[in-house]
Amino acid sequence: MSLSLVKSVLFAAVLTATTALHAQVPQVINYQGRVAVGSPAVNFDGTGSFKFALVNTDGTTSYWSNDGTSTAGNPPTAAVTLPVTKGLYSVLLGDTALANMTTITATVFGNPDVRLRVWFNDGVNGSQLLTPDQRIAAVGYAMVASGLAPGATISASQVVSPPPGMVLIPGGEFTMGNSVAADTDITNAAPVSTTVSAFYMDVTEVTLSQWQSVQQWATLVGGYAGLAAGGGKGANHPVHSVTWYDVVKWCNARSEQAGKTPVYYTDDAHTTVYRTGNVNVTNVQVDWTANGYRLATEAEWEKAARGGLSGQRFPWGNTISQNLANYYSPPFDSLAYDQGPDRYNAIGSVGGTVPATSPVGSFAANGYGLYDMAGNVFEWCWDYPAEAHAGGTDPRGATSDTRRALRGGKWSHTPLYLRCAGRFNADPDYSDIFFGFRAVLALGQ
């Protein structure tokens, strides 16, 4: 998608409730927003064309849209024309006095996860989705906005639609490493201010079926040799039994299959695409500007795992239970933050066989919409693991080492290993039933 049109949205007074005074009164939502275009962004002035939908958390279900035609989170057919003055616009969603606007039925508010999705067309660059969707808490007929502080600014990079199956991880500064004073056992992750550029990340761990699809193309068509077949408990379970070399080559194959430029090369000049053998690709041999798939750096992975929260043990907070992630709770552990129940997770243990992986996305997503950033399978990252976090902007680990980084813990781990600050590594030629991964993309794809 073109980045030529950059829209930032400032929600000063995002949503206000209009409580139904009578059962016959149509429900309306008074929504106010600001839209800016261009780079650098300037407030849009003129007549804007907007589309609105109320969708579920992951945007796959449409509860309502302005003309009633939206399904599965897709844009509705007809647009609502609204005046925009110095970037500001206001609309009564559900007000049938407006052209192409239909009533919002009360049943919409029976859903616990309603979010507002907005598309905007400035008349030049076509209709584009503004992201992220705005969280709405529904309490009976009264609706209030939540999850976005008054006056919060959504950066320009956040308003481009992510590729299918991926979400945008916003760029910015975060505290990388352990900030939980009680967790003195973490000795290799002193907290340090770190800034990462925005990027897209696979919503879930790469599944066995995803792996097989790319692996077969790579082997039969793409000129790749020796790429592991991978293992998995089911098509929608995470792939495992893949080495670091395998997953890097798979990312290249996924790129080439999709017509993107590969990221990983076996030479500093980036002329030979990494397709075969075990090559310890160095930071210099990575085309960080290419539009293809790659592994996350440790910094990117941890920023993503934290989901916008700060200083928490886990992607959702400071305690863990088997309702939140796939891990092993020891019968005799003494971790106050592990609420169990004991032993393997019931979802992962279905069938009674190892590996006790769970289908990807079996637990709630974190604040960025990512699943299984704690537990299920361990996830290979790019870095040669540095002894301490470097901080700064877009750190990429050590320049050399014998090992590569892993993050997030796994189905057989105690919660110690699932903490956001937890750091692990392994030889790049090692594989077993615990190791998987997910991929990321640079912006502008």
The residue ranges that bind Ca ion (CB under 5 A) are 329, 333, 340, 342, 372, 376, 408
Residues 6+ apart with CB under 8 A from 57: 113, 115, 365, 369
Scan for tokens 């239909």, then name that residue: 102
Residue 300's nearest CA partner among 172, 386, 212, 414 is: 172
CA atoms within 13 A on the CB side of 236: 6
Pair 115, 129: CB distance under 8 Å: no
Task: Tell me how far, at minimum, the Cβ of 356 lies from Ca ion, in Å.
Answer: 13
Is 15 or 239 the residue whose CB approaches Ca ion more closely? 239
Task: Tell me how far, at minimum, the Cβ of 169 lies from Ca ion, in Å.
Answer: 15
217 class by beta-carbon count within 10 Å (0-12 exposed, 13-18 middle, 19+ buried)? middle
Pair 28, 105: CB distance under 8 Å: no
Residue closest to Ca ion, measured at CB: 329
**Enclosing H/E stretch for 210:** helix 208-220
Task: Tell me how far, at minimum, the Cβ of 123 lies from Ca ion, in Å.
Answer: 44
Residue 156's nearest CA partner among 1, 308, 6, 37 is: 6
Task: Tell me how far, at minimum, the Cβ of 426 lies from Ca ion, in Å.
Answer: 15
Is 66 or 376 the residue whose CB approaches Ca ion more closely? 376
Q: What is the DSSP string of 53-68?
A: EEE-TTS--EEEETTS
Task: Tell me how far, at minimum, the Cβ of 328 lies from Ca ion, in Å.
Answer: 9
Is 277 or 341 the residue whose CB approaches Ca ion more closely? 341
Task: Tell me how far, at minimum, the Cβ of 381 lies from Ca ion, in Å.
Answer: 11
Task: Tell me how far, at minimum, the Cβ of 246 lies from Ca ion, in Å.
Answer: 17
Pair 189, 391: CB distance under 8 Å: no
Is 122 or 205 the residue whose CB approaches Ca ion more closely? 205
Residue type, 317: G
Is 290 or 416 the residue whose CB approaches Ca ion more closely? 416
Is 86 or 343 the residue whose CB approaches Ca ion more closely? 343
Is 156 or 166 the residue whose CB approaches Ca ion more closely? 166
| Helix, strand, or coil (residue 218) | helix
